[in-house]
């Protein structure tokens, strides 16, 4: 495993639609492991392959229970992610992104989503997500479609030190 460089705006790779994953070979497994290590080191709660300059429809997400911090975090690897269903209810919250350093924004997202795709071994997965986990999946799935949170934000700004600390916690 090795750390990969996270690219940032204005790199044009971030604005392109990614290619479908078709092979789950050793090279793909190495990519998944590298993405997990890179996400954790950043630190982040999600990472899409285009963020490390790899134009594949692949995301990794690691998130713990909001109400029970003692519960271990759950790791998701989803190739070819698609949001197959979503709630009508939407929630606006602050988002940040490893590829858009130094800025945050208010983004409206669906409260619940169903994510379909393939796991790291090419087997179908279906994930029902709500709250922050649903937000993370929507954010990362946008990345593989060449969309950044700043494109959806109603307001974007540079956070104060206090705001940055609250967002990081």
**Superfamily classification of domain 12-168:** Peptide deformylase (3.90.45.10)
Query: Which pLDDT tens digit goes with each residue over 66-92?
Result: 666 677 899 999 999 999 999 999 999
82 is catalytic: no
Query: Of these residues, 62, 140, 161, 163, which one is catalytic?
Result: 140
Residues 154, 144: Cα–Cα separation, whole Å:
21
pLDDT in tens, 24-57: 999 999 999 999 999 999 999 999 999 999 999 9
Residue-range domain boundaries for the chain:
12-168
Task: List, as own/partner pairs, every contact residues 84-93 make where C-beta atoms lie below 8 angstroms and the sequence separation is at least 24, other chains included.
Answer: 84/114, 84/115, 84/116, 84/126, 85/113, 85/114, 86/110, 86/112, 86/113, 86/114, 87/111, 87/112, 87/113, 87/130, 91/135, 92/154, 93/132, 93/135
pTM of the model: 0.93
Burial class (CB in 10 A: 0-12, 13-18, 19+), 54: middle
Mean pLDDT taken over the chain: 94
Beta-carbon contacts of 79 under 8 Å, excluding residues fewer than 6 positions away, are: 21, 24, 56, 57, 58, 117, 118, 119, 120, 122
């Amino acid at each position: 495993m090795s750390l990969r460089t996270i690219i940032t705006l204005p790199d044009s790779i971030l604005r392109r639609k990614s290619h479908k994953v078709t092979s789950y070979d050793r090279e793909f497994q190495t990519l998944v492991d590298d993405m997990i290590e890179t996400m954790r080191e950043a630190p982040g709660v999600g990472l899409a392959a285009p963020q490390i300059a790899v134009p594949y429809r692949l995301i990794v997400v690691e998130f713990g229970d909001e109400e029970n911090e003692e519960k271990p975090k759950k790791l998701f690897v989803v190739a070819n992610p698609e949001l197959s269903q979503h709630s009508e209810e939407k929630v606006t919250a602050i988002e940040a992104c490893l590829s858009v350093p130094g800025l945050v924004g208010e983004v409206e997202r669906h409260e619940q989503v169903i994510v379909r795709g393939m796991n790291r071994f090419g087997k179908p997965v279906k994930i029902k997500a709500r709250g922050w986990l649903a937000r993370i999946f929507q954010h990362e799935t946008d990345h593989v479609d060449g969309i950044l949170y700043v494109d959806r934000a109603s307001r974007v700004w540079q956070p104060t030190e206090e705001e940055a600390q609250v967002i990081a916690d």
